[in-house]
Amino acid sequence: MDSADQMTLSGAGLNAGALERLLQSDEPDWLKERRRSAWQAFERLPAPNWRYLDAGRFPLGEVVPFVEGDTAAALALAPDEIRAISEGARSAAGLVVQADNTVQVARLRDDLREQGVILTDMATAVRQHGDLVRRYLFAHGPQPEEHRFLALHAALWTGGFFLYVPKNVEVEEPVYFLQALTRPGAAVLPHNLVVVDQGGSATVYEEQVSEPLGRQPFSGVYTEMHLEANAELQYFLVDRWAHDVTEVSRRHAFVGRDARFSGVTAFFGGGLLHADVCADLIGEGGTSEFLTLILTNQQQHLDIINYNRHVAPHTTGEMNTRQVLRDQSRTTYQGLIIIEQSAPHSQDYLQENALILDDGARADAIPSLEILNDEVAATHGATVGKVDETVLFYLMSRGLSRRTAELLLVEGFFAPLLERVPGDDTRERLMGLVSAKVAG
């Protein structure tokens, strides 16, 4: 073990010592008080009783917070388009790179800055834009005092980015956020805060990437998205963690009056993962759409909860998920439509489909409805099935290898979902990631 690893291990643990380090920083008093309150909640709350995953399996006492990362190493793991943006060879609205807990804001277009768009790291945001951050941080949805892992995040989060789009400003090109793990055993808890003000629009790409590091890292990311009246946000998540990464994460959109949220999430990586992917439709006429791709292999265990919660009337939602499993991997996808009594004339649709390639894999698809108002429309369905050996035999009889035949079936299985993904480049890249993983 080298000296750097030895120093890393000496500060191990998401514990009270980590909190004290944050409380000694130059953060504003209001944030420090929130951290203390959240830590008290973390200490008293029991571990969540997840039905399909033991919350005690996450190595909270062994990982190391506040590890400085290698930005060059992070960019080496990035997809070509992010490297091109970083090098100035490709245009984008903005780029933020976080290597472990080192955050670098690479660029924000000058014309957007002149229109009042803000893109910065969260540490800078709480100092320079404190009133704005304070207004939206944990403003809606579950509060830290309600959930042990959310309380842990609220107490110890560091890093992440802040994006603010002013009223009636359209950010046509995407903003990219790259989160990379580059150090063994690192703990990263970035908080990303996206605010699209009235009539504004934006597109955000979030990508997680790492290579096997030897000691299990932990990710506790929370991406919080607020859409004011008539705002639009397209959100893309690509999870390419190595299989040694553990994660408890939340992506949560809060959709205002006549606002439109569209989320595309692709889970390819992570060894042990619990993810909440949610939208609260809090303004009348709001819309939320989720398209989710899940592809697992080896020993991966992914537990994903996806829901639309209708709070205001005349809101519309859709969740459409397709997952493919091979080897001994396991997934649990719990899709949930919640329509509150306060949301008459709302409608939602939930569809879950899973394809199992190997006998050792297991998928649990759990569609659920919680309807508290009679004047609504909500439908759901789910299918889980093994690959048709007859079809495989037919393809192989035409000279294809079994792996190539499986790839054709997987591509065809994902095609109806991918056809709805905005942007030709994004669709092609997602299919390329699917093909590479199926090919091994």
Based on the number of CB atoms within 10 Å of its own CB, is 388 exposed (0-12), middle (13-18) or buried (19 or more)?
A: exposed
Please choose, from the candidates 431, 422, 424, the residue with its C-alpha nearest in 3D space to the C-alpha of residue 262.
Answer: 422
In the chain, domain spans = 3-283, 389-440
Q: What is the largest CA-CA distance in the chain?
A: 70
Tell me the pairing of strands 118-121 and 161-165.
antiparallel
**Cα angle 63, 64, 65; round to 5:** 125
Q: What percent of the chain has pLDDT over 70?
A: 98
CA 375 – CA 347 distance, rounded (Å): 9
Phi first, then psi, for residue 15 (nearest 5°) are: -140, -175
The rounded distance, in Å, linking the Cα atoms of 16 and 155 is 10
pTM, two decimal places: 0.95
For residue range 206-253, list pLDDT tens digits in order: 999 999 998 899 999 999 999 999 999 999 999 999 999 999 999 999
- Report d(CA 90, CA 84) in Å as an integer: 5
Q: What CA–CA distance (Å, rounded) separates 32 from 64?
A: 21
| 103-152 residue pLDDT tens | 998 789 999 999 999 999 999 999 999 999 999 999 999 999 999 999 99
Q: Which two tokens stand for residue 284?
A: 């009348």
Instruction: State residue 9's pLDDT score.
Output: 42
**Which CA distances in Å does 217 have to 26, 122, 185, 248, 273?**
27, 22, 4, 12, 12
Confidence of residue 2 (pLDDT cuts 50, 70, 90): very low
Measured distance CA(99)–CA(137) in Å, rounded: 23
- Of residues 209 and 425, more confidence is placed in 209
Cβ proximity of 284 and 311 under 8 Å: no
C-alpha dihedral, 414 to 218 to 97 to 430, nearest 10°: -10
The residue whose two tokens read 């099935």 is 385
The helix or strand, by DSSP H or E, that contains position 316, with its residue range, turns out to be strand 316-325
- The residue assigned the tokens 């519309």 is 316
> 238: closest CA among 264, 216, 212?
264
